[in-house]
Every structure is written in structure tokens, then in C-alpha cells.
Amino acid sequence: MHEGKIILAQLMDFFPKREFRSCVNRYHGDKCIKRFSCWSQFLAMAFAQLTYLESLRDIETCLNSLGTKLYHAGIGTKVARNTLAHANEIRSWKIYADFAHVLIQRARTLYRHDQFSLQLQETFYALDATIIDLCLALFPWAHFRKKKGAVKLHTLLDLKGNIPSFLHITRGNVHEVNVLDDLIFEAGAFYIMDRGYLDFERLYQPHQAQAFFVVRAKKNFQYRRVYSRPVDKTTGLRCDQIIRLTGPLPSKLYPEQLRLVKFYDREHDLRLSIVTNNFTLPALTIAQLYHARWQIELFFKWIKLHLRIKAFYGTSENAVKTQICIAVSVYVLVAIVKKELRSELSLYTILQILSVTLFEKDSISQLLTGSQTLIHIPNPANQLSLFEI
């Protein structure tokens, strides 16, 4: 039976609060803090993401207008924009990055049995980075080009559920291929990448870890054919070859054989050369796997459209990274809620509903599914003050 909690309180019941405390304690986030805790900071920033607020002043005005509902939401105290700005400035963004990864692991567990579009049992990841433009005058630390600032959000997307399994935020002038040094490769998993990641020294790492990569080749790609396999050219395939690298340095950095699949995409009039270290899947499946990489482009487009990661509430590096990590946490939370409640609604629709009902006393289960019966929500709170950490 619904207990009369506001929607925001019910939504936050899906958060593993013990793990959040662990993340805070790991970086001493609440040390010497008396009133505005890291949890209150997180709630205020998550509220801003869910309601599409434009500035710190908007956050202050909207939250403080709620009166006693603010207490029941778990924030417990009025929010001053200077206090929130100071918290974003000095409290380590790594608290929220670690918590985002806690949520990611939970979401991946929920979505692990979802079917991949190609009906394969292996784990498939798409790796890419997106640029978030910044004004260099306001963000002088975010070096990208001579007169332009930016940060890069490097993401490894689990294609079962489109859940980001790895996040790394760097300045804009860091090349995306460097993130391969930070990944721990899973044996048997597939890593699908664009040609910006074609670095044979680094690609030898997943090969040694018994993982597979599928990466688009560059135009100056040098190799010699060892032998060719027959292909059905009516499917768009042009060749399926076993090759060896011929460049003096690449042949030393990657001494093993590779597989080259060439494919013509009639719909976009595009010729693709795809390199992989997998020799067992059909050539057409390899081409289809590379096409599935487009899901990460859609993910980047979605979060830029529906979350606040293009305009920022603070100008320091810590504030920017804090906001991005909390935004990703909100995305993953919505994915968790969708799965836990078995909602048929899209993530976008759920966000829209939540944005106008956060402080209503309705059942979140009925709101998102139309069901009269609530399913069990982990870690239910027994007190009216729900989120004291």
C-alpha cells in the first residue's frame, strides 16, 4: 500500500544509500560539515537534472519554495546558491563518480538478461568519447584548441540495455585512444570502436586478455593479405581476409594475424574497412556489430538533449565533473526504476513525468506503470525523514 511519500522520496528509495555513505567516507566528503551534507548536495543537483533548471538561483528558488516538503525530500535545510556553489567547488567529484559506478553495476545486473539485437550471448561494448564545449574564458583549465575549451566524456556502453559501464572525464585536448590504457578488458567480450582507436600497441592489450575488438581501419592502413574467405557480395560484403601488418612499427607492436572485413553500406553510400581479432563470427555479423556502435552516438545525443551537461552551474573543473557525474547517475537511476517497476515507458517519457510530479504524493509504481499494486522497493525507509546519511 502507498505510504503517502512524495515521488522524490520514493524515487530515492532506489538509491543504495549505504554505498553512497561509503563513497562519501572514502573521500572525507562530510568532514567538518554540519548542515549541507554530500547527500543534500546530491539531492539538490539531482533535482536540478530532473526538473531542467537553468542556474543555481533557479535551484535555490524552486527548492526553498517547497516549505516542509523540502524536509520530507531528505534535504532537511534550506538551500542557498552560495552554499551549493561552494559544495560543488570543494567536495571531490570522485564521490559522485564512484557512486555513479555503483549504480551502473546495479543497472547492468538488472539488464544482463536483455537480448542484444543480433541475438548473441557474448557481452558487447561500444567505446567512444563526446566533446562538451566550454567557453575558454570561463573555463581556462579546459584546454582543447587555441581559442576553444572543452571536456571529453569517455564512455564504454554496454549494448545490453545501453548502460554506461565505464566513464572517464578528461580535458578536451586528451586524445580518446588514451582511455584504452585505463580499461580492464573482459575475456570473451567484444569492444566496438571507431577508427580513432586504431592503435595497434594498445589493441594488443585486449588480444592478450582474450577479449575481441572490432574497429574501423584508417585509409593509410598497411597490411598484406595471407588468404581470403569467400563472401556473398549481395549482402554488402566485399571481402573477408586474414592479414598481417606490414609497417615496421605496427608489425612489431601487433605480431599476430588479424581479420579484415570490407563492407559497402548502400543506404549511406559508405565503404567500411573493419579490423578484428575474432576469426569465428561470420563476416556479415562483424559488419553488423560495427553498425551497432551507433547506439553510443544515440546515447550521447540523448543525454545532451535531456540532461544538464551542456550548461554548467559552476566553472571549476571539480564543479563541472561533479555535475556530469550526477547527471549520469540520474540517467542510470531512471534506467533502474524502469527495470524495477517493469515499466513499458521510454526513459524520455519517465523523465518528463518525473519532472512535473516530484513533490506529488502519488504512487510511483502506479504513475509509471498504471498498476494498482506496488512491487517491492529495496531498502524501504521506516521513518518520515528518509534520507539522512
Closest CA to 191 of 117, 292, 279, 259: 292
pLDDT of residue 382: 43
List all residues 6 or more positions away from 241 whose beta carbon is below 8 Å from its beta carbon: 225, 226, 227, 228, 229, 259, 260, 261
Position 161, amino acid:
G
State the Cα–Cα distance between residues 116 and 40, nearest whole angstrom: 38
Q: Kindly state the average pLDDT of the residues 364-372.
A: 79
Closest CA to 41 of 338, 298, 331, 387: 387
pLDDT of residue 380: 43
Q: What is the 3-state secondary structure (H, E, C) of the chain?
A: CCCCCCHHHHHHCCCCHHHHHHHHHHCCCCCCCCCCCHHHHHHHHHHHHHHCCCCHHHHHHHHHCCCCHHHHCCCCCCCCHHHHHHHHHHCCCHHHHHHHHHHHHHHHHHHCCCCCCCCCCCCEEEEEEEEEEECCCCCCCCEEECCEEEEEEEEEEECCCCEEEEEEEEECCCCHHHHHHHCCCCCCCEEEECHHHCCHHHHHHHHHCCCEEEEECCCCCCEEEEEEECCCHHHCEEEEEEEEECCHHHHHHCCCCEEEEEEEECCCCEEEEEEECCCCCCHHHHHHHHHHCHHHHHHHHHHHHHCCCCCCCCCCHHHHHHHHHHHHHHHHHHHHHHHHCCCCCCHHHHHHHHHHHCCCCCCHHHHHHCCCCCCCCCCCCCCCCCCCC
pLDDT of residue 371: 59
Indicate the pLDDT class of residue 335, thresholds 50, 70 and 90. very high
pLDDT tens-digit profile of 90-147? Answer: 999 999 999 999 999 999 999 888 877 677 788 999 999 999 999 999 999 999 988 8
pLDDT tens-digit profile of 154-189? Answer: 999 999 888 999 999 999 999 999 999 999 999 999
pLDDT of residue 3: 56
Position 120, amino acid:
L
Q: What long-range pairs does 240-244 form, CB within 8 A, spacing at least 24?
A: 240/283, 242/279
pLDDT of residue 389: 41
Residue 153 has pLDDT above 90, yes or no: yes
State the Cα–Cα distance between residues 81 and 59, nearest whole angstrom: 7
Residue 385 has pLDDT above 70, yes or no: no
CA distances (Å), origin 365, targets 10, 343, 369, 376, 378: 9, 8, 6, 10, 14
Indicate the pLDDT class of residue 374, thresholds 50, 70 and 90. very low
The whole-angstrom distance between residue 370's C-alpha and the CA centroid of its chain comes to 29
Q: Kindly state the average pLDDT of the residues 251-272.
A: 92
Residue 375 has pLDDT above 60, yes or no: no
Residue 384 has pLDDT above 50, yes or no: no
Residue 372 has pLDDT above 70, yes or no: no
Q: Kindly state the average pLDDT of the residues 274-282.
A: 95
pLDDT tens-digit profile of 79-90? Answer: 899 999 999 999
What percent of the chain is modeled with pLDDT above 90? 67
pLDDT tens-digit profile of 215-245? Answer: 999 888 899 999 999 999 999 999 999 999 9
CA within 13 Å, CB half, 227: 3
| Average pLDDT, rounded, for the chain | 88
CA distances (Å), origin 197, targets 97, 175, 181, 271, 275: 24, 9, 11, 18, 11
Indicate the pLDDT class of residue 388, thresholds 50, 70 and 90. very low
Cell readout for 329 is 547517475
pLDDT of residue 220: 84
Sign of CA dihedral 168, 172, 176, 182: negative
Residue 332 has pLDDT above 60, yes or no: yes
Q: What number of residues does the chain have? A: 389
pLDDT of residue 1: 40
